[in-house]
Structure 1
Amino acid sequence: MSLFEHPDFDQHEQVSFFHDAESGLSAIIAVHNTKLGASLGGCRMWPYANSQEALTDVLRLSKGMTYKAAMAGLPQGGGKAVIIGNPRHDKTQALMYAMGKAVDTFKGQYVIAEDSGISVQDLQYMATQSHHVAGTSAKFAYDGSPADGNPAPSTAYGVYMGVKAAVEHVMNSSLKGKTVAIQGVGHVGLRLARHLHKAGANLIVADIFNEGVEIAKNELGARVVDPQEIHAMEADVFAPCAMGGAINDKSISEIKAPIIAGAANNQLASKQMDKLLLEKNIVYVPDYVINAGGIIDIYHQRNESSAQALRAQLEQIGDTVKNIITRSQTEKKPSEEVANILAEEKFKFS
């Protein structure tokens, strides 16, 4: 299948494939749209089954970043990078150097940041080869705590504000006593769990790795279930916080939670899931709306700003979520369709 005929190709401005035999780098960088500004998006390292799977992911993720930036009101476009490989076994300093060189070929039209499988240290290695690397350090954190450049705390706080807003709007209730099923308790999911626990929510968690699960169980009193069953739990909110495609042909009939709101990108396996969720009276909070905290953080770090200004914009995510849910219910349109219309008004017709 060629790039232009790929079902997830959406008038992307540039898609580049990189291979470096010496370091073993196999990567793809996709720039979707730069009408509002240079594209920014994280780099994901994952053991994709093949290059076609990696291409699908980077095309969808980069498009999502365009919509995410537009909905967050940021003057930047959307891009993304993926490295094919297992971050726990295949990652080397040389690999990160090679990735930095790849980023530099875009001459600033793509700015790379952190995503699954990539750390602040990895970005620092990339930054030795390119000036177009974000998240290598930070001037402040939204809550005044020490900051190292990792945007995960801001992403988690933004998701928390979105979950809180959805529960308030749909159930006319606080989070106290509500049950949230979190699929994936990594850098963002575990932080989200802590926010929810502090707000009085009950937690059910699952992950393919044990570290976060054990912390959630011992520190937060979370109930642990099998990763293949987490979506079907009796809960008030299902929060996908792992890889994409959590809402698919199989899982959609098994989801019992009346609200879906989580940190994962590309939660809908296909466009039709949005409509099917509406028909099932399940309120879906579009992923690129609720998980925008990371790019909001990076924007504030790269410009003259403050912890207070960052926190205020993160908390606006809750207001945006309520607005989208209201319009979805009033107009009887799927929530992602509503969000897409609002985003496209900004980057297509500005």
Structure 2
Amino acid sequence: MNKKVVLSVLLLAAMSSAQAADPLSAWNDTAAKNAIMQWVQNATNQDRSTYIPPDKRYVVFDNDGTLWPEAPLTFQLQFAVDEVKRLAPQHPEWKNDPVLGAVLNNDLKAVAASGEKGLMQLLAATHSDITTEEFAQRVSQWVDNQRDQRFGCRYDSMGYQPMRQVLDYLRDNGFKTWIISGGGIDFMRVLSQKMYGIPPEQVVGSFSLSEFSLTEDGTQLRKTMKGAFNDDAAAKPVAIHLFMGQRPVAAFGNSDGDLAMMQYTAANPDFKTFGLIVHHTDDKREYAYDSHPPASGKLVEGLTVAKEKGWTVVDMQKDWKTVFDPAQCALKPGN
């Protein structure tokens, strides 16, 4: 083996070792990365006044726009749109419906103009009157068969790599990671374990009540639109109390819809907490928006409060080396 080959092997080994030693290797060495690591070090060092006992290390994450993209549509809304088109041959009456017909005509502006009432109708057509098992199968089939139109990637490969590393880093240091999101609880639970290592019981989202019944084969839960709970804005602290039973010590979000969750976390009277907001500033590798998002994720008040509270604001363009894991989701030429 000649000297050049030996040097190359040693260099590659050194690079691999450095990456392994850096749990946040997808982050640039900026203030945001340093803030995360410093807080974790302070929270886990028993010799410091900032120490947090392991049984209190509960951390909450929004999902849409914080762990995966929410533009131009949230994944769940894109799923609903695709489901309407898939199921349309069984429902010829849909073409005459103002909302469902607009979906079939690719008129998403008309769908958006229909507001919450239209959204609920879209969800009723695609998320209800089926068993929970059938719904999970439909989501899995959608993930297997559909690709993001801009990036050409599987949806389950589009978790933000820097945030996935934060999740792993926190868990490696004894923290319990939860999703508290406005997305549908049953939709996210299909994907959370594979994408983020978060088990279904630690996923909290919007939901409607299911109905239990006995069947010839055993039992079933059937999804309905009854008792709908929208896990967004002020409802997030309510959901945290209901499902977690204790106040978190850190919160990660990206929009004004996450503000109440972050304020609730920051007001924890027992520990020095941490807050982080992902600011979408990268229109080349992802999307750039705050006050005028393509679909959801408006961020105005959150930026102001973050400055007042000393929360970390992530500039996606400057703070992240990568957005998606290139081994799973390589950008198309031109992106």
Normalised by the length of structure 1, the TM-score is: 0.29
Which structure has more RCO (C-alpha within 8 Å, separation ≥ 6)?
Answer: 2
Higher helix share: 2
